[in-house]
Structure 1
Amino acid sequence: VGPAIIEKRVIIYQGKEYNMEFQDFLRQYIPEMDSVNITSSSTVQIGLSIPAGRSREILKVGGGQKSYTTFLKIMQELQEENSVFDYEIQYRSIYEERWEIGSRSDVPIEL
């Protein structure tokens, strides 16, 4: 109920935590991303308020079929069950309820 206010965002890769934007992480740590054309991206900064019932498009890939296919392959590999990749976003409501979403769950988890 009400907006989601971002309190924490972290990318976990190969046992290390990275407090950075997803696009920046991909460009810096996934070499195959050099052939992917990202046409737009959004930030998920601490303190960001996302209105109730809305979502945030983190990345948009363009540049043709090869770029799109390469990106899908990268994301599939990152999301495999035994992957060394995870992300967590913690947020709160205006009523101080705290939740977490991540790459391993389809639904928010109450904290």
Structure 2
Amino acid sequence: MSKLKIKWNSDKIVSLSAMSISIFTLIIFIYQTNLMSKQNYLSILPYVQISISEDKAHKTFSLDIKNHGVGPAIIESVIIYYKGEKHDLRDYDNYLYNYLKSEMPILDSVNFFSSSTLDRGIAIPANSNYNVFKVFESERDYDLLTKSLGELLRKGLRYEITYRSIQDERWIIHSNSEGPQKLD
């Protein structure tokens, strides 16, 4: 048997080196593209939490949705659970305060408040707050709201907010969760 001998000359060495460098460059390019894709994904990731602010000295109570992420959060649905029943906030014109008044009619007498809708499709920008409702400048209204809300929570009032990113990835937060949970 004769062995095939490769004759190494400068042309073959240069050609082989060029091919090796090209393959190595292709591997680096694929790796960089993968890193850029991951960076793009993380650059639009919303992270939503519910925030309650109470200032008894100034008679202010505020419920906000905060987006601590780096991309906008787009609200898809808000569901309230109370006394074993499921309530879609759309049945209350997307106002959480309207739902609270339906369960605690005494809240209808609160005068100093502002309220916002939680309509499907509302976008909460990155690093911002969206005020759901706020009671201010009235000790009577502040006391009435905090006592009523406390009673509703003791009786089992819970919420569930589903939202998505601009890449249509969906998350959900619950009143008893420690953070958003990704939905498949």
Code of the aligned partner of 1:23: Y
Q: Whose radius of gyration is greater, 1 or 2? A: 2
Output one character per residue of 1:24-67: Cα deviation in whole Å (capped at 9) or x when no partner: 11122212213323521111111111111112111111351111
**TM-score, structure 1 as length reference:** 0.84
**1:17 and 1:55 mapped to 2: Cα distance?**
26
Superposed CA deviations along residues 66-106 of structure 1, whole A, max 9, x for unmatched, are: 110111111222223xx331111100111222111232234
How many aligned residue pairs are there?
Answer: 109
Q: Which blocks of at least 5 consecutive residues in structure 2 are unaligned? A: 1-44, 46-70, 90-94
**SS in structure 2 opposite 1:55?**
strand
Q: Does 1:17 align with 2:89?
A: no
Name the counterpart of 1:99.
171
Superposition map of 1:3-82 within 5 A: 3-20=72-89, 21-62=95-136, 64-80=138-154
**TM-score normalized by the length of structure 2:** 0.54
In structure 1, the gaps of 5 or more residues are: none
In 1, distance between residues paired with 2:180 and 2:127?
14
Q: Provide the secondary structure at the position in 1 that maps to 2:76.
A: strand
Alignment of 1:84 onto 2:135: no
RMSD value, Cα: 1.7
Tell me how far apart the structure 2 counterparts of residues 103 and 74 of structure 1 sit (CA, whole Å).
17
SS class of match (1:79)? helix
The structure where helix makes up a greater share of residues is 2
Q: Percent identity, aligned pairs only? A: 40
CA change 1:105–1:43 in 2 (3 A) is same
| Bigger relative CO (Cα 8 Å, ≥ 6 apart) | 1
Q: Is the Cα contact below 8 Å between 2:80 and 2:86 reproduced in 1? A: yes
